[in-house]
Amino acid sequence: MSPKKILIVDDEPDLVETVRFPLEMEGYQVLVSNNGEEGLNQARKEIPDLIILDLMLPRLDGYKVCRLLKFDERYKHIPILMLTAKIQEKDKLLGKETGADEYMTKPFDIDTLMEKVKFYLSRG
């Protein structure tokens, strides 16, 4: 069985590195995009098993990327974990409207993230 494919879309290289490392340790294949537009294209081309998506991204923000994928029959099955530095309630709601499966506030617990990833991958 080929390894599960996870796409990280985030413009912060250090943060990407600290998320990529444990995912690869778990044996996942990790793809990275550092802006929203590239992330969207890569998601459409590669059809990953899960996407970890930052909210504030250059070119195309995380909400839009999420909406474009979740409201498209071909991609809506891909679980999306949204990461964000915004903690206000209304942002949280907006995240839900875009159809994100999970919403995590920075800074987060790395183990919690890994558990969520495992959960959504086993579900699919």
Q: Does residue number 109 form part of the binding site for another protein (CB under 8 A)?
A: yes
Of 45, 74, 111, 122, the one binding another protein (CB under 8 A) is: 111
Please, is 75 exposed, middle or buried when counting C-beta atoms within 10 Å of its C-beta (0-12, 13-18, 19+)? Answer: middle
Contact 71, 82 (CB under 8 A): no
Of 34, 35, 42, 105, the one binding another protein (CB under 8 A) is: 105
* Of 31-39, 63-71, 78-86, 94-102: span binding another protein (CB under 8 A): 78-86
Whether the bond between 58 and the residue before it is cis, its omega within 30 degrees of 0, is no
Of 75, 108, 118, 121, the one binding another protein (CB under 8 A) is: 108
Please state, in angstroms and rounded to a whole number, the distance separating the CA atoms of residues 3 and 59.
30
Q: Does residue number 110 form part of the binding site for another protein (CB under 8 A)?
A: yes
Contact 63, 94 (CB under 8 A): yes
Residue (75 or 108) nearer to another protein, CB: 108
Q: With contacts defined by CB under 8 A, how many residues of the chain interact with another protein? A: 20
Q: Does residue number 86 form part of the binding site for another protein (CB under 8 A)?
A: yes
CA angle 17, 117, 23 (to 5 degrees): 30
Give residues 8-67 in contact with another protein (rule: CB under 8 A): 12, 14-15, 17-19, 21-22, 25
